[in-house]
Chains A and B, each alone.
Chain A
């Protein structure tokens, strides 16, 4: 067969055979037990999705146990204590171990294919997040078998969760579970933001990006700003449980509502963190099923951004019945209704796309799940508007009406699109497609079962049944409605079982399935192998596969960018943020044990702390840090010179400074830390408003003399200047011929010491004045400020030491400066945070006093 090779394509064919062999060798998936070291996104994504799905099934089984208990009145199938543990673990697992991780997993799985990147920019980070999550999640879940599971509800409101009312380690296991999802969620967010903004194919401007990539970008940004609030809340709760720092105890100036504010400031965006990616997936599938581009692409992107933005202004609608003032009620009620509009835009865009599509609209398993989603989600959205109306919420809040509402929104908004996703994208990783026949059975069982289970709950709730009751009296007459719900739950579970049977029969991992079976327009349906696409296409539209009919063939033959591996290792093209112009070739990390060890020891450290085995926990923590250091040491490979990727484009193979992917990741880490610190400032001021009487100078020991904060500030400023000078004194590439070569590392070490000293001086000042952290909420908040800055300082000191090591081993110079840049950025950030903290702690009481 003869083949035309159009001259305007980036590379000429036919390509030499060795290129493909080299790609296959470089990107090969490790075999046998070494599979644990894998970082390839399709494999990591599959394991990640599998683990999250396992937690969905496990938490679903808990739901069936609860439904069995509630099927009839005065039932004794489960005991009160076990029921309380089960509903806590069900909610926690579904939210933290299923919903968020599976969305991240889908990001890991789908984004590189949609962007035709070889992999996400930090492959080991994804794998680390996955292992930490799997280990932590399994341990958390298994507590239900040992009567050690938390029983404070997934929202863990103090004072119920304080040691006084929840002795034992049960509540600490919740804090552990959430600790893991915090780590893996933030790791995933960094990965996804940098991935979406920097690893798009040439030509894919922001305006040509698939909607799912937009949704994931907003999802990740929301994690960056929402998760720190709950991270702070969990830290405060654990400090109060372990050391008696009274953040939440009213008698000592704390406030139980502080937890609710922090928790829901995270918790409400969390709902959209789960929903937005699912909506993004629907926006990908609907155009394929209609065989026409999405109507209202720009409106949908605006709607996604608006949802992300609004979702931070809604948290108080979970607190309408706490007795907060009317003005707040009005504001949050209005905001809660306003968020319905972006959802409306998306719903009607999908309907418009279906209406505009080719005839007939294809009805198959993915589109059935999407239509089921539309119905359920619209109903859930309407009840959402109802509960946004404050007086109605006074009745509905904490009843089965809310149970119905939230399952309509979450199962409708997320689980149904997820099953559509499974059927739609399975051929991307599986040799066989899933069964259309079994899929229809699964859909109808799930759809009918879901509505049978949850629709009656609207009525049950308004008939007076509160949430989280393990049984109810027969004479209230709630039996019939509850029996119907239980029957529905089992019908739905049968649907999930049919899906699992379908998976077992038809899902076979490994590429080479039917190529683009739905005739989709986006890049993930290009032919792929372990190295992703053979070459990276130049993108000129939103649906390249529809607009460039020969694209698949050209890409497979290596006629587009980077058909080979010019550096002889894993690499991907980094492009500019808005226009997606190729900037450099990133050298990527491959398979490794280091991130696996880091995950195991991090998990070990947290777990052992939970069961109060402090000594071994510390050893495990040190081993985790060592693993991180070894992992980091293998990165930042030297420049390999310029390489040609096609069309005469020559790209550098090393980049430092603001164009580097690493710089972007560091900036996101700083944003996370800053969000955490802002949550802290909010908490400090909030507790002052609630309990000004415990604040210095009147209610607590006086502040230390100004010499303490001034000295502390001077140390941080000097340290920052030292770091700046050290940056000016980096050696030229590969040489240590500066005068006084060891002066630069010495400056870094001195700067690190200054930082430690600065935190020490601040703490010492308060100790000298006799301030006891467990005395009241003010004193606890004062030390909390140093705790947070100390944490950032600890990370900074390790990075400084790491940079010193790189300097003396000639792995860090003026050009190859990424490790130094990272240490310096974090140093300046920490110093800035520390200075803000000093102003707050030493300035605020003086101003108000």
Chain B
């Protein structure tokens, strides 16, 4: 069986176990150069490790029930020196070199040449994402990272509070966000599309609800997205949504949230300028829909316990719907 076919067979076996598994956050379905290299490394090690395990089982079986002639070579110190010292020393040395080659390949990727910088700041329990364009202008977004396909991008990872770990499994391995430090993670998307990531370092209370999406665009689409996303919030003609906008300001939501182009300039919570265009709410906890917005505003401590936003039960049902419509319209 060729190596490729073997891999296909093993992969197929695994797929049975993964049946029903959505591959959005899976290292088995890489869409980034780093994750692809690691996936190959995984399969090489798994197959080699599996063979070694089978070997040990066979040797044990021979030792227990084998015929005298088979057991004799196993029953001395020479066997221990060969199987327990020489064999692992050779295999591990080869593996060490292979590991370093892959590590080196990841580290040597040059930074993107379009002058765009990505800064991601972990906060309990969401991600503040800041984009800097070539001219040094910046704008903020949250819980969603947009990258161009085919270009290595450098992510500047920091934290506002405790240790978090940024992990987009389909693109690359994880890297921690540590107070007082800026860690640089390089990743290269190889396919267009949306994948999901999640905080990997336990960061207290709602650690389980600290996820995000990564959207990989073609270069043209990415530039288009940047242009749109860096602009102010879109004006909405819908009457109810307009009422919602006023309500947003009157209720003091702008104390924590920014909506560029309005009086809301708070910096504590996520920037909501284009929140309606994102794929999720509350760090990939809820789908993005008007209903979810309403649910979140009034019931967020139940949905995502301990999150820093207080639940707002001051609105009437119709006010809540207006507010939700407004937020949903911020594409």
Interface residues of A (CB under 8 A from B): 79-81, 84, 151-153, 157, 159-160, 165-166, 249-251, 255-257, 295-296, 299, 321-323, 326, 329-330, 333-334, 337-338, 340-341, 344-349, 351-356, 360-361, 363, 371, 374-375, 378-379, 382-383, 385-386, 389-395, 397-399, 456, 459, 462-472, 475-481, 690
Contact = CB atoms under 8 A, between A and B. Distances in A.
Nearest to A462: B27
B174 A394 contact: yes
A374 B25 CA distance: 34
A354 B60 contact: yes
Contacts of A395: 27, 35, 38, 42, 169, 173-174
Contacts of B227: none
A374 B46 CA distance: 19
Nearest first, the 8 closest Cβ-Cβ pairs linking A and B are: A394-B173, A250-B180, A464-B25, A356-B75, A469-B208, A323-B183, A355-B63, A355-B74
B268 interface: no
Interface in B155-188: 161-163, 165, 167, 169, 172-176, 178-181, 183-184
A394 B179 contact: no
B256 interface: no
A476 B28 CA distance: 14
A391 B38 contact: yes
B17 A459 contact: yes
A295 B176 contact: no
B301 to A, nearest CB: 11
B199 interface: yes
B96 interface: yes
Given A345-B84, A469-B207, A251 B180 contact: yes
Contact of A299 (B28, B80, B98, B180): B80
B66 A355 contact: yes
Chain A interface helix/strand/loop/mixed: helix
B314 interface: no
A160 B180 contact: no
Contact of B95 (A153, A389, A459, A480): A389
B71 interface: yes
Contacts of A397: 173-174, 200
Given A322-B176, A391-B106, A395-B174, A348 B162 contact: no
B99 interface: yes
B311 interface: no
Interface string B53-95: 1001101101111100001101111011101110111001001
Contact of A347 (B19, B56, B103): B56
A391 B173 contact: yes
A477 B174 contact: no
A477 B20 contact: yes
Interface string B147-159: 0000000000000
Given A351-B56, A389-B99, 20 more contacts: A80-B206, A84-B205, A152-B204, A159-B179, A295-B76, A337-B95, A341-B88, A348-B79, A351-B60, A352-B63, A371-B60, A389-B95, A391-B106, A392-B41, A395-B173, A397-B200, A464-B169, A466-B167, A476-B22, A477-B21
B19 A333 contact: no
Chain B at the A interface: SS class = helix
B200 A296 contact: no
A463 B57 contact: no
A326 B38 contact: no
A347 B63 CA distance: 12
Nearest to A162: B162
Contact of B202 (A250, A385, A468): A468
Given A333-B99, A382-B53, A475-B22, A349 B200 contact: no
A354 B64 contact: yes
Contacts of A79: 305
A337 B200 contact: no
Given A389-B41, A392-B41, A398-B174, A463 B26 contact: yes
Q: Which of A349, A356, A459, A463 has most B Cβ within 10 Å?
A: A463
Between A80, A249, A338, A383, the greatest number of chain B beta carbons within 10 A of the residue's beta carbon is seen for A80
Contacts of A475: 22
B198 interface: yes
A464 B198 contact: yes
Interface string B102-143: 110011000000000000000010000000000000000000
B181 A330 contact: no
Contact of B80 (A84, A249, A338, A349): A349
B96 A81 contact: no
A472 B196 CA distance: 13
Nearest to B199: A466
Contact of A390 (B34, B52, B99, B198): B99
Contacts of B41: 389, 391-392
A391 B37 CA distance: 9
Interface string B7-29: 00000001001111111111110
Given A159-B162, A354-B63, A394-B172, A344 B88 contact: yes
A129 B98 CA distance: 48
A682 B281 CA distance: 45
A347 B62 contact: no
Contacts of A464: 24-27, 169, 196, 198
B202 to A, nearest CB: 4
